[in-house]
Amino acid sequence: MLSRLLLVVAVVASLASFGQAGSPPTNKDVAFTQRAEIGARWAGMGGACIAIVDDGSAIWYNPAGLGKIRRIELLGTLTNANLRIETSWAGRKSSSSVSTTRFQNASFSYPFPTYRGSLVAAGAVTRATSFDQYLNRYGAQGYHDIEEKKVVLTAWSGGFAVQVSPNVFLGGEGHLFTGDLDYHDQLWPWGSCDEPAVFSQTGDLSGYGGSLGMLYVSRFISVGLTLKTPQRITVEGEEVWTDAGCIRYNPPVKYNIDLPFSGAIGIGLMPPNFTIAVDVIYTDWHQLGFPGGIRDESGNFIFDPTTDLRFGVEYTLPILPLRFRGGYSYVPLALNVFDAEKNRTNITFGLGTLVESSLAVDVAWVHSCFERFSPQDEYREKRTLDKGFLTLTYRF
């Protein structure tokens, strides 16, 4: 959920000088302002699962859902992501792409024997942010800009859930962040230099956060609530940049990024052979904190509050252990320095099966896209992300 948290280098806002040289303000993108889909089953349902999650992924979506686990469980997920960026800058069109395959998450859940109700503990390691970008674009007056970004933020989580009544579950989790970032930007021409202006930053990531969850479950309907506490991410590394006089700087850097509270509500309906889920997630990005600031020169916020809407359906064949899934989500962009021509939407599909009552195999595909433009820079951009998921879940 607040792993809408993808981070693309907040300190890059200090690169405002690049924008003054004619480069569009993509350097203000902060990758931690997106929530990642975790696990193939829930990705296939548009990420809508706060009220219905019942496996180790609950430690990330809604820790109260851990209370529904009845058998010892091991879960693991691999993802493949393909990002394509098409740009038009002062009438010059360009395109670039990048593809990555990565381990996404693994969890272990243990339900303790209880006289009544349930008590479940879980541990997980999750790629809260796994972001790779290559942007190669050309503009007027010979401008040529290349941005390469890589951010990997891993959450090491521990959580628990308890069933406090026949219909109510409560849960909580805490996590520590580790990871690294690598950012590189080159812009031609730049002042009197023969070489391009260059900015790069490398660093190690650390931090912490947590979440609380509640779940009400009846026969045909369930309701989930979650609250992500503020998250603190610390970046420690070094920068290398060249100014218009071809002078090279190499200062060490250390700064904090503070992500705000995020709240969500989910509703699940369970008619025969179907599961239908809807999630609404709100985050006030006016409370985001990082060294580059969240206001422009006029004092206006450059990030807006967002409300994500997610919808998913799952159909179970009555005669075979086979489940079909589909979903849709509307996930608006927090950054407002561009005009949104088409805000971010996700279309998802998935399939799952059960092997000998112990091994669940789930696959999913997520297609995400948005378009934005900056009239003053004569700049348009379309981003398309196709992401595949494979999750294996073994229950003892």
322 or 342, which is more confident? 322
Nearest by Cα to 79 from 49, 100, 63: 100
Across 309-327, average pLDDT? 95
What are the residue ranges spanned by the domains of the chain?
10-395
What is the structure's pLDDT at 193? 63
| pLDDT for residue 9 is more than 50 | no
Q: What is the pLDDT of residue 292?
A: 74
Average pLDDT, the chain: 88
Reduced to 3 states (helix: H, G, I; strand: E, B; else coil), residue 63 is helix
What pLDDT is attached to residue 23?
64
CA distances from 136 to 8, 23, 348 (A): 17, 12, 28
* Residue 192, pLDDT above cutoff 90: no
pLDDT of 68 strictly over 50: yes
Residue type present at position 396? F
More confident residue, 120 or 17: 120
Tokens at 342, concatenated: 């088409």
Taking residues 70-90, report their average pLDDT. 95
* pLDDT for the residue numbered 13: 35
91-94, long-range: CB within 8 Å, 24+ apart, which pairs? 91/140, 91/378, 92/137, 92/138, 92/139, 92/140, 94/136, 94/137, 94/138
- Three-state DSSP at 172 gives strand
Percentage of the chain modeled with pLDDT above 70 = 90
Average pLDDT over residues 32-54: 90
Position 26 scores a pLDDT of 75
Element (H or E) spanning 301, and its range?
none
Residue 19 has pLDDT above 50, yes or no: no
pLDDT tens-digit series, residues 204-260: 999 999 999 999 999 899 999 999 999 999 999 988 877 655 667 777 889 899 999
Residue 14 in this model has a pLDDT that exceeds 90: no
Taking residues 156-179, report their average pLDDT: 97
Least confident segment among 258-272, 322-336, 338-352: 338-352
- For residue 21, the model assigns a pLDDT of 44
Averaged pLDDT for residues 272-282:
97
* pLDDT at 109 exceeding the cut of 70: yes
- pLDDT per position as a tens digit, 119-151: 999 999 999 887 788 889 888 777 888 889 888
Q: What does the alpha-carbon distance between residue 203 and residue 207 come to, in Å, rounded to a whole number?
A: 13
Long-range CB contacts (< 8 A, 24+ apart) of 94-101?
94/136, 94/137, 94/138, 96/134, 96/135, 96/136, 96/137, 97/134, 98/132, 98/133, 98/134, 100/130, 100/132
CA distance 357 to 394: 9
pLDDT digits (tens, 9 = 90+) for 348-383: 999 999 998 899 999 999 999 999 988 888 889 999
Q: What is the pLDDT of residue 10?
A: 35
Task: Report the pLDDT value the prediction gives residue 206, as an integer from 0 to 100.
Answer: 97
Specify the CATH architecture of the domain 10-395: Beta Barrel (2.40)
Place of tokens 């691999």: 78
CA 23 to chain centre: 26
Q: Which of 152, 162, 68, 71 is nearest to 108 (CA)?
A: 71
**pLDDT confidence tier of residue 45, bands split at 50, 70 and 90:** very high
CA distance 55 to 37: 14
End-to-end CA distance of the chain: 28
pLDDT at 364 (0 to 100)? 98
Least confident of 79-88, 307-316, 332-341: 332-341
